[in-house]
């Protein structure tokens, strides 16, 4: 399920659109109480595995989703449960207090995967944007990822949202990003410090994007990058080549066009029906792959 929340600075009331199958349900909500309208704050608790199985173990514990009575993951004794409401509530407060960060018109998209085992909240800031060429605008995006199933660490990642094609724009190097294991706990002061530098980091990356827009890219260079991303998948290699040619036609033969071909794949490439419930995690995994590619010596040498 995906919730799309559009809100301004509190206490302004906006609307929320929730996708339920093919239905769009709109409800009013107050921005100061997001968990009243989001589905990411479902109840979870840690339960000793022994109490569930009756078998003595070495301190294993299960994360149980109480509203569905499902075990999301069995962890060891060192695992600390960091609840979604603690993570996203803290980040929301930090964002609103970050000096220089304009939250006016800020949009929030909530997504879950693996039956709630992983949650991704994306903040998009229309007040902060980078213009590469006429009509080619990318807005600041911050992704916050928390998992109960151990599939990823607690992460906060800065990137962008390209308006013209709705691509998620990936930052190759972890500029200003935050990562923490659940066994290490949740550090609000460290996140505050990272958020304070988010804007400078975003516009620093924007200068790199502008440079790519003026850096020629040959079909040979593009194919080398595509081969690296596709690996042994011939079908993916063929599709990426098509995406490159399409972006080259629209943007010219530049590294910016190649980059957009990669992000088009990560954001929009087909997801099989059986995996649709986990689409948020699949897109996140693709974005991580693209991030590794643009951080590679192969891409940097061409750019």
Domain ranges of the chain: 34-39+81-203, 214-302
Phi, psi values for residue 77, rounded to 5°: -70, -20
Q: Is 67 helix (H, G, I), strand (E, B) or coil?
A: coil
Confidence of residue 209 (pLDDT cuts 50, 70, 90): very high
- Could you identify the residue written with the tokens 């060429």? 133
Summarize the confidence of residues 128-148 as an average pLDDT.
90
How far apart CA 129 and CA 145 sit, in angstroms, is 23
Among the residue ranges 13-17, 105-109, 134-138, 169-173, the one predicted with the least confidence is 13-17
Higher pLDDT pick, 120 / 181: 120
Confidence of residue 29 (pLDDT cuts 50, 70, 90): very low
> Hey, what are 131's tokens?
């213009």
* Contacts of residue 263, Cβ cutoff 8 Å, sequence gap at least 6: 162, 167, 168, 169, 170, 287, 290
Enumerate long-range contacts of 249-253, CB under 8 Å, 24 or more apart.
Answer: 251/133, 251/136, 251/213, 253/216, 253/217, 253/218, 253/219
């Amino acid at each position: 399920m995906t919730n799309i929340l559009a809100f301004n600075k509190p206490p302004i009331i906006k609307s929320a659109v929730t996708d339920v199958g093919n239905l769009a349900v709109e409800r009013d909500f107050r921005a100061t109480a997001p968990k009243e309208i989001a589905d990411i704050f479902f109840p979870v608790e840690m339960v000793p595995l022994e109490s569930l199985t009756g078998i003595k173990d070495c301190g294993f514990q299960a994360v149980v989703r109480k509203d569905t009575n499902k075990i999301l993951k069995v962890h060891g004794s060192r695992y600390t449960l960091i609840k979604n409401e603690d993570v996203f509530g803290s980040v929301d407060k930090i964002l609103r207090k970050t000096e220089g960060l304009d939250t006016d018109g800020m949009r929030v998209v909530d997504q879950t995967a693996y039956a709630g085992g992983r949650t991704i909240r994306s903040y998009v800031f229309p007040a902060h944007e980078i213009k590469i060429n006429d009509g080619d605008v990318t807005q600041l995006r911050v992704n916050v990822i928390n998992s109960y199933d151990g599939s990823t660490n607690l992460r906060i990642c800065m990137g962008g949202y390209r308006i013209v094609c709705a691509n998620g724009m990936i930052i190759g190097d972890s500029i200003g990003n935050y990562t923490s294991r659940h066994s290490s706990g949740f550090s609000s002061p460290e996140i505050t410090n990272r958020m304070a530098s988010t804007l400078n980091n975003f516009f620093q990356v924007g200068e790199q994007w502008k440079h790519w827009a003026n850096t020629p890219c040959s079909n040979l260079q593009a194919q080398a990058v595509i081969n690296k991303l596709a690996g042994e998948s011939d079908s993916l290699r063929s599709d990426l080549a098509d995406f490159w040619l399409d972006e080259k036609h629209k943007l010219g033969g530049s590294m910016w066009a190649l980059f957009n071909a990669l992000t088009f794949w990560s954001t929009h490439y087909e997801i099989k029906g059986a995996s649709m419930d986990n689409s948020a995690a699949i897109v996140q995994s693709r974005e991580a792959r693209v991030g590794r590619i643009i951080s590679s010596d192969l891409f940097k040498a061409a750019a």
